[in-house]
Amino acid sequence: MECRAINIWFDPKRIYAELTDGRVVGMPLSWFPRLEKATDTQRNQFEFWNNGAWIHWEELDEDLSADGFLTFQKKLNRH
């Protein structure tokens, strides 16, 4: 079953998604520079696409998948 988001919100350092199965998952805003640099108003102007499978910010040209809240891992630069 595909994961779907029913709510999105932010605190100063994280983005959170509430999923249809009841889980609440957060990720650092620093992983998403467009969202991190956006104003609160811009962050809150999102749409759910495909019944919450995707979250879309038109003005910011940003899309996140609900599945990504469970599977995305930021790769660390190792020198």
Q: Where are the domains of the chain?
A: 5-71
Contact 60, 8 (CB under 8 A): no
Contact 7, 20 (CB under 8 A): no
Q: Given this model, what pLDDT does residue 71 score?
A: 87
| pLDDT tens digits in sequence order for the chain, 79 residues long | 578 999 999 999 999 999 999 999 999 999 999 999 999 999 999 999 999 999 999 999 999 999 999 887 766 555 5
Verdict on whether the full-model pTM lies above 0.85: yes
Q: Given this model, what pLDDT does residue 67 score?
A: 93
Domain 5-71 indexed as CATH 3.30.2020.40: yes
